[in-house]
Structure 1
Amino acid sequence: MPSLVVHPPTSNRFPAALTLLLLGALAGCSGLPDEPAAQLMAQATAQLSSGSATQALPQRWWQLYRDRQLDLLVEQALNHNKDLEAAAAHVDALLARLEQVDSQRQPSTLLTYGVGYGRSRDDQTLAQATGERADAEWSHAPGFSLSYTLDLWGEVRYRLAAARANADAARALEDEWRVMVAAQTTRAYAQACVYAFSSLAQRHSVQVLERSVEVTRKLQQAGAATALDLARLNGLLEETRAPLPMLTARHQAALYELAVLSGMRPQDVARNSCARPPQLQAPLPVGDGWALVQRRADIRRAERQLQAATLAIGVARAELYPRVTFGAALESSASSLGKLGDSEALVYSVGPLLSWRFPNRGVAQAQVGQRRAQAREAQARFDATVLSALKQVEQALALYQGEQQRRQALQAALDNSQQVFELATRSHRAGALDALQLLDSERSLVSLQATLAQADLRLINRQIDLFQALGGGWQRDDQPQPLPLAALGAKP
Structure 2
Amino acid sequence: MYKPTSRRLSLVVIASSSLLSGCMSGPNYQPPASWSAASATGPFVSKAPDVTPAATLPADWWRLYDDPALASIVETALAANADLHAANANLQRAHAVLSEARAGRFPTTTTSGGVTWGRGQTSQGGAYNSSPNREQFVEQGGVSMAWEVDLFGRVSRTIEAARGSAEAEAAARDAVRVSVVAETTRSYSEACALSQSINVARSSLVLAQGSYRLVADQERAGSASSFDLERAGTAMASAQAAIPPLEGQRRTALFELAALMGRAPSEVPAAAAACTRAPQLRHPIPVGDGAALLRRRPDVRQAERTIASDTARIGVAMAELYPKVSLGGAFDYTHSGSGQFGPAMSFSLGPLITWSFPNFAVAQARIREARLTTDADLANFDGVVLTALKETEQALTTYAADMDERSALEEARNRSERAFGLADRLYRMGSTSYLDQISAQTTLTDAEAKLAASDLKLAIDRVTLFKALGGGWEMQISDEDEAASASIAHGRGADM
Q: Please report the TM-score for the alignment, with normalisation by the length of structure 2.
A: 0.82
How far residue 216 of structure 1 moved from its aligned partner, in angstroms, is 2.6
Matched, 1:58 2:58: yes
Match of 2:74, as an amino acid? V
Judge conservation of contact 1:158–1:488 (CA < 8 Å) in 2.
no
**1:386-425 CA-partner distances (Å, limit 9, x unpaired):** 1111111111111111111111111111111112222222
Which residue number in structure 1 is paired with residue 31 of structure 2? 29
Which residue number in structure 2 is paired with residue 353 of structure 1? 352
Indicate the structure whose relative CO is greater, using CA pairs within 8 Å and at least 6 residues apart: 2
Ranges in structure 2 where 5+ consecutive residues have no aligned partner: 1-29
Alignment of 1:208-223 (within 5 A): 208-223=207-222
Which residue number in structure 1 is paired with residue 143 of structure 2? 144
Match of 1:376, as an amino acid? D
Which residue number in structure 2 is paired with residue 282 of structure 1? 283
CA pair 414-31 structure 1, distance change in 2 beyond 3 A? closer
Ranges in structure 1 where 5+ consecutive residues have no aligned partner: 1-27
Match of 1:204, as an amino acid? S
Match of 2:114, as an amino acid? G
Judge conservation of contact 2:171–2:302 (CA < 8 Å) in 1.
yes
CA pair 208-333 structure 1, distance change in 2 beyond 3 A? closer
Match of 2:89, as an amino acid? A
How far residue 94 of structure 1 moved from its aligned partner, in angstroms, is 1.7
> How many aligned residue pairs are there?
452
Match of 2:226, as an amino acid? A
Which residue number in structure 2 is paired with residue 302 of structure 1? 303
Query: Structure 1 residues 59-68 or 365-374, which shifts more?
Result: 59-68
Query: Structure 1 residues 71-80 or 396-405, which shifts more?
Result: 71-80
Match of 1:114, SS state, is strand
Matched, 1:108 2:108: yes
Match of 1:314, as an amino acid? G
CA pair 390-53 structure 1, distance change in 2 beyond 3 A? closer
Match of 1:357, SS state, is coil
For 1:147 and 1:339, how far apart are their aligned partners in 2?
35
For 2:33 and 2:203, how far apart are their aligned partners in 1?
64
Judge conservation of contact 1:195–1:247 (CA < 8 Å) in 2.
yes
CA pair 148-338 structure 1, distance change in 2 beyond 3 A? farther
How far residue 44 of structure 1 moved from its aligned partner, in angstroms, is 5.5
Matched, 1:70 2:62: no
Q: Please report the TM-score for the alignment, with normalisation by the length of structure 1.
A: 0.82
For 1:260 and 1:63, how far apart are their aligned partners in 2?
22
Which residue number in structure 2 is paired with residue 321 of structure 1? 322
Which residue number in structure 1 is paired with residue 466 of structure 2? 467
Match of 2:353, SS state, is strand
CA pair 125-288 structure 1, distance change in 2 beyond 3 A? closer
Which residue number in structure 1 is paired with residue 380 of structure 2? 381
**1:268-295 CA-partner distances (Å, limit 9, x unpaired):** 5364321112222221110232121121
The share of aligned pairs that are identical, in percent, is 36
Which residue number in structure 1 is paired with residue 152 of structure 2? 153
How far residue 133 of structure 1 moved from its aligned partner, in angstroms, is 4.5
For 2:340 and 2:125, how far apart are their aligned partners in 1?
21
**1:412-457 CA-partner distances (Å, limit 9, x unpaired):** 1111111222222233334433322121111101011111111111
Match of 1:389, SS state, is helix
RMSD (CA atoms) = 3.4
Judge conservation of contact 2:142–2:330 (CA < 8 Å) in 1.
yes
Query: Structure 1 residues 52-61 or 180-189, which shifts more?
Result: 52-61
Judge conservation of contact 1:123–1:134 (CA < 8 Å) in 2.
no
Match of 2:159, as an amino acid? L
Which residue number in structure 2 is paired with residue 4 of structure 1? none
Match of 1:432, SS state, is coil
Alignment of 1:137-216 (within 5 A): 137-216=136-215
Match of 2:439, SS state, is helix
Match of 2:56, SS state, is coil
Which residue number in structure 1 is paired with residue 79 of structure 2? 79
For 1:322 and 1:468, how far apart are their aligned partners in 2?
50
Match of 1:409, as an amino acid? A
Match of 2:203, SS state, is helix
For 1:337 and 1:430, how far apart are their aligned partners in 2?
129
How far residue 332 of structure 1 moved from its aligned partner, in angstroms, is 2.8
Match of 1:85, as an amino acid? H
For 1:68 and 1:239, how far apart are their aligned partners in 2?
37
Match of 2:110, as an amino acid? L
Judge conservation of contact 1:109–1:146 (CA < 8 Å) in 2.
yes
How far residue 247 of structure 1 moved from its aligned partner, in angstroms, is 1.8
For 1:301 and 1:401, how far apart are their aligned partners in 2?
30
How far residue 52 of structure 1 moved from its aligned partner, in angstroms, is 5.4
How far residue 473 of structure 1 moved from its aligned partner, in angstroms, is 2.8
**1:21-45 CA-partner distances (Å, limit 9, x unpaired):** xxxxxxx73369x9xx487799759
CA pair 474-42 structure 1, distance change in 2 beyond 3 A? closer
Judge conservation of contact 2:193–2:459 (CA < 8 Å) in 1.
no
How far residue 120 of structure 1 moved from its aligned partner, in angstroms, is 4.1
**1:136-183 CA-partner distances (Å, limit 9, x unpaired):** 443322212221111111111111121121122222222222222222
Match of 1:352, SS state, is strand
Which residue number in structure 1 is paired with residue 452 of structure 2? 453
**1:357-382 CA-partner distances (Å, limit 9, x unpaired):** 21122211111111111111111111
